Chain A
Amino acid sequence: MSPWRAAARRFRRNRPAVAGTVVVAAMAAAALLAPLVTVDPLAQPDPVGLQDRPPSAAHPLGTDPYSRDVLSRTLHGAQVSLLVGVGAALLAVTLGTGVGLAAGLGGRRTDEVLMRGVDVALALPRIVLLLAVFAIWDRAPPAAVVVLIAATGWFQTSRIVRASVLGLKQADFVAAARALGSGRGGIVRRHLLPHVAAPVIVSASLDVGNIILLEAGLSYLGLGVRPPTPTWGNMIMDGKDVLLSAPWVALAPGCALVLTVVAFNLAGDGLRDALDPKAA
Chain B
Amino acid sequence: MSGPSRAPLLEVRDLAVRFTGFDGVARAVDGVDLTVSEGETVGLVGESGCGKSVTALALLRLIEPPGHIAHGSSVRLEGRDLLALGAKEIRAVRGNHVALVFQEPLSALNPVLRVGRQIAEAIRAHEAVSRSTARWRAVEMLAAVGIADAERRAASYPHQLSGGMRQRVLLAMALACRPKLLLADEPTTALDVTIQAEILELLDGLQHKLGMAVLLITHNLGIVAERTRRVYVMYAGQIVEEAATERLFAAPAHPYTQGLLAAVPRLDERRERLRAIPGQVPPATAWPAGCRFHPRCPYAWEKCRTEMPPLLEAAPGQKARCWLVQEPGRRKSRPDGEVTK
CA gap between A249 and B71 in the complex, in Å: 77
Interface residue stretch chosen among B74-82, B107-115, B220-228, B261-269: B107-115
**A175-212, CB under 8 A of B: which get 1 and which 0?**
11111111100100011001100000000000000000
Does residue B14 face the partner (Cβ distance < 8 Å to A)? no
Pick the 4 closest A-B CB pairs, nearest first: A180-B95, A181-B95, A172-B107, A181-B94
Chain A residues with CB below 8 A from B100, complex form: 176, 179-180
B157 touching A190 by the CB < 8 A rule?
Answer: no
A-B contact pairs, 11 of them (CB 8 A): A2-B157, A173-B108, A173-B110, A173-B111, A175-B62, A176-B102, A176-B170, A179-B60, A183-B91, A183-B125, A195-B112
Chain B residues with CB below 8 A from A181, complex form: 91-96, 122, 125-126
Does residue A25 face the partner (Cβ distance < 8 Å to B)? no
CA gap between A173 and B173 in the complex, in Å: 12
Chain A residues with CB below 8 A from B11, complex form: none
Closest CB-CB distance, B173 to chain A, in whole Å?
6
CA gap between A172 and B95 in the complex, in Å: 15
Q: Known interface pairs A172-B104, A173-B108, A194-B112. Does A178 touch B62 (Cβ–Cβ under 8 Å)? A: yes
Specify the main secondary structure of chain B where it touches its partner.
loop
Interface contact tally, CB-CB below 8 A: 73
B94 touching A3 by the CB < 8 A rule?
Answer: no
Does residue B174 face the partner (Cβ distance < 8 Å to A)? yes
A172 touching B102 by the CB < 8 A rule?
Answer: yes
Chain A residues with CB below 8 A from B91, complex form: 181-183
Does residue B28 face the partner (Cβ distance < 8 Å to A)? no
CA gap between A3 and B125 in the complex, in Å: 25
Q: Chain A interface (Cβ within 8 Å of chain B)?
A: 2-3, 171-173, 175-183, 186, 190-191, 194-195
Chain A residues with CB below 8 A from B92, complex form: 181
CA gap between A199 and B104 in the complex, in Å: 26
CA gap between A18 and B114 in the complex, in Å: 29
Does residue B99 face the partner (Cβ distance < 8 Å to A)? yes
B125 touching A182 by the CB < 8 A rule?
Answer: yes
How many residues of B sit at the interface, in one of the four size bands?
Answer: 20 to 34
Chain B residues with CB below 8 A from A2, complex form: 114, 157
Does residue B33 face the partner (Cβ distance < 8 Å to A)? no
Closest CB-CB distance, B152 to chain A, in whole Å?
14
Residue of A173, A179, A195 near B107 (CB, 8 A) is A173
Closest CB-CB distance, B183 to chain A, in whole Å?
8
Residue of A171, A186, A195 near B125 (CB, 8 A) is A186
Q: Which of A171, A173, A177, A182 has the most CB of B within 10 A?
A: A173
Chain A residues with CB below 8 A from B112, complex form: 3, 194-195
Does residue B121 face the partner (Cβ distance < 8 Å to A)? yes
B94 touching A194 by the CB < 8 A rule?
Answer: no
CA gap between A176 and B109 in the complex, in Å: 8
Chain B residues with CB below 8 A from A194, complex form: 110, 112-113
Closest CB-CB distance, A15 to chain B, in whole Å?
27
CA gap between A172 and B122 in the complex, in Å: 15
CA gap between A136 and B173 in the complex, in Å: 59
CA gap between A177 and B62 in the complex, in Å: 11
CA gap between A177 and B113 in the complex, in Å: 12
CA gap between A177 and B102 in the complex, in Å: 11
CA gap between A20 and B122 in the complex, in Å: 42
Chain B residues with CB below 8 A from A3, complex form: 111-112, 157
Chain A residues with CB below 8 A from B126, complex form: 181
Chain A residues with CB below 8 A from B110, complex form: 173, 177, 190-191, 194
Query: Chain A residue with minimal CB distance to B110?
Result: A173
Chain A residues with CB below 8 A from B94, complex form: 178-181
Query: Chain A residue with minimal CB distance to B88?
Result: A183
Known: A172-B104, A178-B62, A194-B110. 10 other contacts (CB 8 A): A2-B157, A175-B102, A176-B102, A176-B108, A176-B170, A179-B57, A180-B95, A180-B99, A194-B113, A195-B112
